[in-house]
């Protein structure tokens, strides 16, 4: 085994570690994304709760107004009754037909006024019935939503715990792998990941095309990469590129595809 071959073996192993590291980083990213998205569903349900609470508040206010309006109309009718009693009393003391007509008019006006109030009360009774029904429906919906919120909060808390467990295991795996990587290779990888905000190690496609940016690599560089004796980067996007057919990378590359 000459120096070149053993160096090549080391680099191929490093590349395998890099690909594993990349897989773990992708999992970590997914976990963190899911963790960040979790409160969103809860926020949407809580918004619905707030909306129903506002509707209920408005309906309760309308109900109170309708009830007080109805009470006022009822008081007016009671007043009419009193006036009517007084008019009837007057009637017994009537002497002339002129007086009689005046009291008759009073009766008539009183009757009309009472009848109008009764119509209003009828409408208010219907409005009150509708408000009460709507309030009941909204109260039931609200209770169901609040129990949804409670269930969702529990589910979210459970899922967060699961994710945190997975993340901590993945971080442990990452640390172990990072320890097996050469310092320069690791820092190159970390820099690319930071800069590209994503995949840092990509296989070459047919004819030496970088699968990160789709640029065709110069043939000379392609030849070097095929020998898999060095860790090379795409001159365009700077991602680490590797030749997929390298037999001892077989397993790792299949899994990343």
Residue given tokens 């595809």 in the structure block = 257
Least distance (Å) between residue 234 CB and Zn ion: 3
Distances (CA, A) of 117 to 75, 83, 128: 10, 15, 16
* Binding residues for Zn ion restricted to 197-216, rule: CB under 5 A: 210, 212-213
Residue of 24, 124, 237, 249 interacting with Zn ion (CB under 5 A): 237
What is residue 201's three-state secondary structure?
A: strand
- Identify the DSSP state of 216: B
**Per CB under 5 A, does 234 bind Zn ion?**
yes
Least distance (Å) between residue 53 CB and Zn ion: 54
Least distance (Å) between residue 37 CB and Zn ion: 30
Q: Quick check: 227 and 246 in contact, CB under 8 A? A: no
Q: Which stretch binds Zn ion (CB under 5 A): 59-67, 78-86, 234-242, 244-252?
A: 234-242
Cβ atoms < 10 Å from Cβ of 61: 11
- The structure tokens listed for 130 are 């509708």
Kindly tell me which of 24 and 234 has the beta carbon lying closer to Zn ion.
234
Least distance (Å) between residue 40 CB and Zn ion: 34
Kindly tell me which of 203 and 212 has the beta carbon lying closer to Zn ion.
212
Q: Which stretch binds Zn ion (CB under 5 A): 17-25, 85-93, 101-109, 232-240?
A: 232-240
Kindly tell me which of 15 and 124 has the beta carbon lying closer to Zn ion.
15
Residue of 147, 168, 187, 236 interacting with Zn ion (CB under 5 A): 236
Kind of pairing, strands 240-242 and 201-205?
Answer: parallel
Q: Which stretch binds Zn ion (CB under 5 A): 11-19, 104-112, 143-151, 227-235?
A: 227-235
DSSP secondary structure of 93-127:
T--SHHHHHHHHHHHHHHHHHHHHHHHHHHHHHHH
Of 127, 131, 162, 140, which is closest to residue 35 (Cα–Cα)? 162
Q: Which residues bind Zn ion (CB under 5 A)?
A: 210, 212-213, 234, 236-237
């Amino acid at each position: 085994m000459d120096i070149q071959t053993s160096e090549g073996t080391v680099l191929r192993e490093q590349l395998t570690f890099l690909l594993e590291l990349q897989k773990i980083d992708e999992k970590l990213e997914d976990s963190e994304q899911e963790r960040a998205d979790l409160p969103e569903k809860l926020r949407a349900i809580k918004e619905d709760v707030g909306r129903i609470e506002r509707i209920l508040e408005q309906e309760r206010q309308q109900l109170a107004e309708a009830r007080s309006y109805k009470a006022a109309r009822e008081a007016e009718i009671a007043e009419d009754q009193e006036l009517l009693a007084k008019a009837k009393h007057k009637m017994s003391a009537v002497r002339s037909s002129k007086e009689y007509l005046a009291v008759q008019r009073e009766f008539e006006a009183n009757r009309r006024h009472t009848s109008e109030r009764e119509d209003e009360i009828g409408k208010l009774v219907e409005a009150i019935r509708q408000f009460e029904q709507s309030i009941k429906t909204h109260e039931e919906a609200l209770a169901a939503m609040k129990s949804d919120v409670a269930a969702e909060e529990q589910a979210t808390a459970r899922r967060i715990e699961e994710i945190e467990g997975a993340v901590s295991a993945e971080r442990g795996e990452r640390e172990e792998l990072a320890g097996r990587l050469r310092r320069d290779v690791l820092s190159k990888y970390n820099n690319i990941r930071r800069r590209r905000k994503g995949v840092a190690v990509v296989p070459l496609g047919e004819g030496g095309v970088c699968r990160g940016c789709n640029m065709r690599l110069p043939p000379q560089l392609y030849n070097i990469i095929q020998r898999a004796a060095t860790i090379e980067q795409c001159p365009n996007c700077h991602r680490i590129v590797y030749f997929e057919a390298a037999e001892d990378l077989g397993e790792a590359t299949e899994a990343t595809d």
